Chain A
Amino acid sequence: MSDFLLEMRNIRKSFSGVKALDGIDLHIRAGECVGLCGENGAGKSTLMKVLSAVYPHGTWEGEIRWQGQPLQAQSIKETEAAGIVIIHQELMLVPELSVTENIFLGNEITLPGGRLNYSAMHQQAQKMMAELNMPDINVALPVHHYGGGQQQLVEIAKALNKNARLLILDEPSSSLTTSEIRVLLDIIKGLKAKGVACVYISHKLDEVAEICDTITVIRDGVHVATQPMASLDVERIIAMMVGREIGDLYPREPHDIGEVVLEASHITCFDPTNPARRKVKDVSFNLRRGEILGIAGLVGAGRTELVSTLFGAYPGKYSCSVKLRGKPVDVSSPIKAIRHGICMVPEDRKHHGIVPQFGVGWNMTLPVLDRYSHAGRIDKGEELQSVMAEIGRLKIKTSSPHLPITGLSGGNQQKVVLAKMLHPKPDILILDEPTRGVDVGAKFEIYKLMFELAKSGISIIMVSSELPEVLGVSDRVLVMGEGELRGEFNNQGLTQEQVLAAALTPLASVAAEHGVTV
């Protein structure tokens, strides 16, 4: 009958009325590697959660056939028993347990009486690591002795130990160094030769192009194309991934751009969990008065790390030098950054933005309580007046300034956090994903506010994963990829394809191309 290992037909899935997947097809043969491509939020992860039964059968529409038979799994356990194993972006290993113990976690070999049969497990683990070309690994050592790349291989060994016939790799290389990626790709090739099929999800299209046989592109939950890699190139894939017009969601207003206010040079950030790896690699840029600088790039490109360094909030080791109006300044903590007129609205609103047990007003005034206090005593009337004014200015929908902030919608919470970080009257405002989880109406108002602020002379750095937003709002665009600054564009006639192409093209290959042309 069918020669496909897996067929997903016409998969549809909605979240409270919003369509996340709208008729997606995916076919995989044994030993085939399919690259699943799409922008952030296109629906790749949702599709894989449907496949691995994180969303059980019945919560979505469509059909999944596995080895020709319908698959109606209710849980990950069932899909794993069938041979479909997903390896997540964040590794699911227990760092304190040994390599062997991790590989056999939940699947232990036991002696009579429930005692663990370590010798059998060690032996088998060793054999597996040898098959993965990693005979040097001591399987009795705790996993945390090894770096990210080797841990990834332990994760793969764990999957193979479950007799995986189909491996789903979700951004497997995002936390690996170049040489570790090399090893990973070779191993995937080896697995293919043994008949194991793969779904490879990655923003790094050069990797996708190297190991995938077939490419499936999805966009906004819709299936765009499935083509053999042989008939494609990276540019074609990018064009299919983007393919969308920018509406006039962006109330652009002309504003004057003045002199350089901020010079940030040689910013390098090290991964707190894997100090050998650099998350930001020697990035320098500057910012002008009244300018909106967009920082584009795919998830994991190092953008958040870059901007949180400027605000003194990066948790790991870093080095940088920052000058404000030509003078070197110390921005090693948020307190110092705010004192120098740099404020940041963080990406993770729930954990870094709001104080959940406070009302709307108290959240807003947190950084500047001193302004409303005399000898340490808060003048609540004065505080309230200013809060009311902000609620009016930003059109925050709340019935009272005392309403708990958790009772507001995402967009209104974001406006409160914005109001909070505008309160210290910054010269430079950093917005990290300012419209994430925000409805269209509130988005429009946030953009409008950004233009107003720029007009009044405030410089804005906006990190965003939504390319239309970057192009719709920015005066200038920096493009980052894998921690490198891969492009700088004036936003005049700039297209999404150009930005994405820059984000996906490593600097080394740019240099190589130039070498050829010159």
Chain B
Amino acid sequence: MTIAVETPVAGQSSPPRGGGLPGVKQLFSQYKVLALVIAIAVIWAFFAWKTEGGYLTPRNLSNLLRQMSVTGMLACGMVFVIIAGEIDLSVGSLLGLLGGVAAVLDVTYHMPLALNLAIVSGLGLLIGLFNGYWAAWLRVPSFIVGLAGMLAFRGVLLGVTGGMTIAPVSDQLVYLGQGYLPTLIGDLLGVVLFVIAGVLAWRTRIANARYGLPVVPLWRDVARVVLAGVVIFGFVRTLNAYDGIPIPVLMLMVLLGVFTYIATQTVFGRRIYAVGSNMEATRLSGVNVRGVKLAIFGIMGLMCALAGVVNTARLAAGSPSAGSMGELDAIAACFIGGTSMRGGVGTVHGALIGALVMASLDNGMSMLDVDSFWQMIVKGSILLLAVWIDVMSRGTSRA
């Protein structure tokens, strides 16, 4: 995937450390991403061997990425929530509710797609802010706010749908979940991404030189950009070899870019990390801590709206059980991707790689017809193992 390689080139700064010098910790964090990439490679190799290559066909990889996109969207929002030292357990139910609302608006009221999206997004944002208000202003622990929302939002969904599946949704909406980008545009997009990677690397070099920072040897930057190019090329070619880049995957890539930008380049992003790392010190530095928390919950609600609409589109129906356990997948993805339970540490690309790990396991085991109870046991074990390795490596790096 592009994720792993693109970010070091583009931002040259995993958020907890700051752009520029490759400190020991930064190297360590890059190895951590590498470790995750290796883990995915191992998982893919294993399933490829078991399915005699069926796992690695363009068709299956395209499916796999599409399957991970809903969890990935939630993980994008969740990673900010967890970095800020909070948690949101309501996202699965909220996804279901907003997806259900989108289905009702589409099926019953024949709402045009753009208006539908706007209404559902607005609703998601408002509900997210509502959660945030309870957590940040009324100081109810976010765990409890989430738990309450998990119950209540699912209840509202059951009430709205009457417990029935809402179908058939319009073709327009279905396109959001099942459509593909025309291959030509996919190719163009790949070229554009490659050029952006090159330009960003070049600009970082110039900036470092201007501020008297050490500049890495040219060959390393060239190697990085070439590597990024290879990954982008492979990604686009593989997906185009099937039907093109799936629309949900495209949306997820855009979100990856936007969220990484927020995390590494903006004032707001910096404050999210500060709040999660030491809330008191941040408050005493004159940062509106409650405002930051309110905003991240709002963003989380927005992501639920997007994920809900895409989920409804993917299933071509609004289902009363949509998104159940979705919060757990999103949270697990964040933790597998190296987000710290105690706040202050985490990356967007890490969380998405975490989501990819989960999706890869799901997809592979389904192909092998593994019983669903085994799937749950395996996923649970992987989560435990991944976080244990993370804790262990943190411990040794401190000692």
Interface residues of A (CB under 8 A from B): 311, 313, 334-335, 337-339, 344, 346, 351-359, 361-362, 366-367, 369-370, 373, 376-378, 380-381, 384-385, 400-404, 420-421, 424
Give chain A residues whose Cβ lies under 8 Å from the Cβ of B267: 369-370, 373, 376-378
Bound: A366/B18 CA distance, A: 13
Stretch from B106-114, B137-145, B279-287 at the A interface: B279-287
**CB of B344 within 8 Å of the partner chain:** yes
Residues of chain B at interface, number, CB under 8 A: 34
A357-B281 in contact (CB<8A): no
> A366 to B285, Cβ gap below 8 A?
yes
Who on chain B is nearest to A370 by CB?
Answer: B267
Give the residue of A334, A344, A358, A404 whose beta carbon is less than 8 angstroms from that of B274.
A358
- Nearest residue in A to B277 (C-beta to C-beta)? A357
B396 beta carbon closer than 8 Å to chain A:
no
Query: Which listed residue (B19, B25, B277, B285) contacts A334, Cβ 8 A?
Result: B285
Tell me how far the C-beta of A164 lies from the nearest C-beta in chain B, rounded to whole angstroms.
38
Give which listed residue, B270, B283, B286, contacts A378 with CB less than 8 A: B270
Given A334-B286, A381-B211: A358 touches B16 (CB 8 Å cut-off): yes
Q: How far is the CB of A204 from chain B (nearest CB, A)?
A: 30
Contacts of B25 on A, CB cut-off 8 Å?
404
Min CB–CB distance A424 → chain B (angstroms): 7
B18 lies within 8 A of A359 (CB): yes
Apart from the given pairs A335-B288, A354-B278, A377-B265, 20 other A-B contacts in the complex at a CB distance below 8 Å: A313-B283, A337-B286, A344-B284, A346-B284, A351-B280, A353-B284, A354-B281, A355-B278, A355-B344, A357-B278, A359-B17, A359-B18, A367-B286, A367-B287, A373-B266, A378-B265, A378-B266, A381-B210, A400-B21, A402-B23
A351/B265 in contact, CB under 8 A: no
Residues of B contacting A424 with CB < 8 Å? Answer: 286
Q: How many whole Å from B170's CB to the nearest CB in chain A?
A: 37
B393 to chain A, nearest CB (A): 16
Q: CB-CB < 8 A to A384: which residues of B?
A: 20, 211, 213
- The CA-CA distance from A176 to B70 in the complex, in Å, is 58
> Which chain A residues border B280 with CB–CB below 8 Å?
351-352
Determine whether the beta carbon of B207 is less than 8 Å from that of A420.
no
Which of A313, A353, A358, A421 counts the most chain B CB atoms within 10 A? A358
Q: How far is the CA of A400 from the CA of B283 in the complex (A)?
A: 26
Residues of B within 8 A of A377 (CB): 265-267
Take A366-B287, A369-B270, A404-B25 as given contacts and tell me if A351 and B278 are in contact as well, using a CB distance cutoff of 8 Å: yes
B273 within 8 A of A: yes
B271 at the interface (CB under 8 A from A): yes
In the assembled complex, the Cα of A355 lies from the Cα of B285 at a distance in Å of: 10
Most buried by B among A313, A356, A378, A402: A402
> B residues 311-354 with Cβ under 8 Å of A?
344-345
Within 8 A of A (CB), among B232-273: 265-268, 270-271, 273
Report B266 CB to chain A, min CB distance, Å. 5
Point out the residues of chain A lying under 8 angstroms from B18, CB to CB: 358-359, 361-362, 380, 401-402
Q: Which of B16, B21, B207 contacts A357 (CB 8 A)?
A: B16
Determine the chain B residues whose CB is within 8 A of the CB of A337 once the complex forms.
Answer: 286
| Alpha-carbon gap, A376 to B272, bound state (A) | 13
Asked if B284 contacts A335 (CB within 8 A), the reply is no
Does the CB pair A352–B281 fall under 8 Å?
Answer: yes
Q: Which residue of B lies closest to A402 (CB)?
A: B18
Subset of 8 A-B contacts with CB under 8 Å? A352-B284, A357-B16, A358-B16, A359-B17, A366-B274, A380-B13, A400-B20, A401-B18
A354–B278 alpha-carbon span in the complex (Å): 7
A355 contacts which of B20, B21, B207, B282 (Cβ < 8 Å)?
Answer: B282
Chain A residues within an 8 Å CB radius of B265: 377-378, 380
Q: Flag if A353 contacts B281 (CB, 8 Å).
A: yes
Q: Give the shortest distance, in Å, between A61 (CB) and chain B (any CB).
A: 30
- Once the chains bind, are B286 and A356 in contact (CB under 8 Å)? no
Collect the chain B residues with CB atoms within 8 Å of residue A369's CB: 267, 270-271
| Minimum distance in angstroms from B104 CB to a CB of chain A | 36
Closest CB-CB distance, B396 to chain A, in whole Å? 16
Chain A contacts of B284 at CB under 8 A? 311, 313, 334, 344, 346, 352-353
* Docked pose: A377 CA to B283 CA in angstroms: 21
Q: Are A376 and B281 in contact (CB under 8 A)?
A: no
**Cα distance A378–B345 in the bound complex, in angstroms:** 19
Give B162 Cβ to nearest chain A Cβ, in Å: 44
Contacts of A313 in B (CB 8 A): 283-284
Give Cα A356 to B276, complex, Å: 10
Chain A residues closer than 8 Å to B13, beta-carbon distance:
380
Q: Which among B278, B281, B282, B283 has the greatest number of chain A C-beta atoms within 10 A?
A: B281
> Which chain A residue lies CB-closest to B343?
A357
Q: Residues 278-305 of chain B: 1 if any A CB is under 8 Å from the residue's CB, otherwise 0?
A: 1011111111100000000000000000
Q: A338–B278 contact, CB under 8 A?
A: no
The CA-CA distance from A319 to B288 in the complex, in Å, is 23
A380-B210 Cα distance, complex, nearest whole Å: 12
Residues of B within 8 A of A421 (CB): 285
